[in-house]
Amino acid sequence: MKSVLDRFLAYVRFDTQSDETTGRHPSTEKQLKLARFLAQELSQLGLPDVTLTEKGYVYAALPPTPGAESAPAVGFIAHLDTSDAVSGENVRPRVVEKWDGSPIGLGSSGIVLEPAARLAGHDLVVTDGTTLLGADDKSGIAVIMTAVEEIVSEKLPHGGIRIAFTPDEEIGQGADFFDVPLFGAKYAYTVDAGSENEIEYENFNAASAVVTVKGVSIHPGYAYGVMVNALRTAMEFDSLLPAAEVPERTRGREGFFHLTGCSGTPESAELRYIIRDHDAGIFEERKRKLLEIRDRLNRRCGAERVSVEIRDQYRNMAEVMKEHPFPVETVRAAMLEAGVEPVSPPIRGGTDGAQLCFMGLPCPNIGHGGYNAHSRSEYADVQGMEKSVRVLLGIVSRFARVR
């Protein structure tokens, strides 16, 4: 059998960054290269029902073994894409064997990585400091594929098992075309958290916002009383948001406004935000705040120069998961059996599972051994990934015993 490390090193060499600006699904063609590779690998492992859709979703099903036909089907999901915050092209992974606890220099980048001290003695996969690693979520893919191979090769008893790999999760569109009836699971898990002991079942409510400003451009020597500088109006818009309610100044369940992009000229400018909050009421207030600033600036300008387009992305899965404790209790038991002490921090982000919960598929998120996502300091813990494989096998075993 292939090790989880071998698989991971193969997968991270695929550049699979998504791009919210293309308007396509999947948003980038390069995600399909990994999707095709995984579909072929699943078929080679002997799964009888593997599908790759035109939207870039990979689905696979493993029928139950004799005696477990009445057990509920369980699904495992990971996403194909990586964040566009840092380059994912030409990833050069390096394995630091039996890390001695000292800082790790990442190539000639000048970046020095200081992994969690508790991982001393573990094998760590790092970057050369010029790209992200892709552990988010190729660690999850490697964990799922390794577990599937062990189930098949060792002929382990199991109920129905469903596998899915989704595109565009990083841009909030991973579940947009997910076919829940085709998938066919009663419960599922996204393998998309960090440390292997994490179980996540509450997350941010999330939206994106695009602020567009229309200005009036003219030669600066003759601008008096005529020019309306869209860039300055955009800067003023951002200044009217609460200065402390940004990602770098919030933690736990505290929400924020995050400016993810800005561009423009004196004639036109654009600001892009993501809006996050665990509390549904405060989340709605955040969206209203953007509209209030728009109205305030338009009144001052005497014209409709500022527009705001808000798009809801996902909601807090806690609303659904509180009615479905079984999958959380099951993974907790599987973690303890695998020698992992479970923790349940609130997600300061989201997963495909957040949307799937509201599509009729209760879907908590569990860890895969990856750290520092979306950065050049991203790294993966090999022993953590191996533990995650054991956790998935424990989940499958427990589902197989349910009648």
Q: Which residues are catalytic?
A: 81, 169
Residue 375, C-beta contacts closer than 8 angstroms, at least 6 positions apart: 85, 86, 132
Distance spanning both ends of the chain, measured CA to CA = 31
What is the Cα–Cα distance from 245 to 368, expressed in whole angstroms? Answer: 30
Q: What are the CA-CA distances from residue 319 to residues 55, 74, 75, 201, 279 (Å)?
A: 29, 21, 20, 9, 11
- Distance from C-alpha of 203 to C-alpha of 358, rounded to nearest angstrom: 13
Residue with tokens 């505290």: 254
Q: Which residues of 312-340 are buried (b: 16+ CB within 10 A; e: fewer)?
A: ebbbbbbebbeebeebbebbbebbeebeb
> Residue with structure tokens 């840092």?
86
Decide: 242 and 257 in contact? Cβ < 8 Å.
yes
3-state secondary structure of 300: helix
Measured CA to CA, the distance from residue 84 to residue 95 in angstroms comes to 24
Torsion sign, CA atoms 262, 264, 265, 268: negative
Which helix (H) or strand (E) segment is 367 a member of? none
> CA-CA distances (angstroms) from residue 330 to 169, 361, 403?
25, 16, 14
Written as six digits, the tokens of 269 are 């400018």
DSSP calls for 67-116 = T-TTSPPEEEEEE--B-SSS--SS---EEETT--SS-EE-TTS--EE---
- For residue 163, give the nearest of 261, 21, 255, 41 by alpha carbon: 41
How many distinct helices (H) and strands (E) make up the chain?
10, 17
Strand pairing class (161-166; 74-79): parallel
> CA–CA distance from 206 to each of 142, 202, 259, 312, 351 (Å)?
28, 12, 14, 6, 11
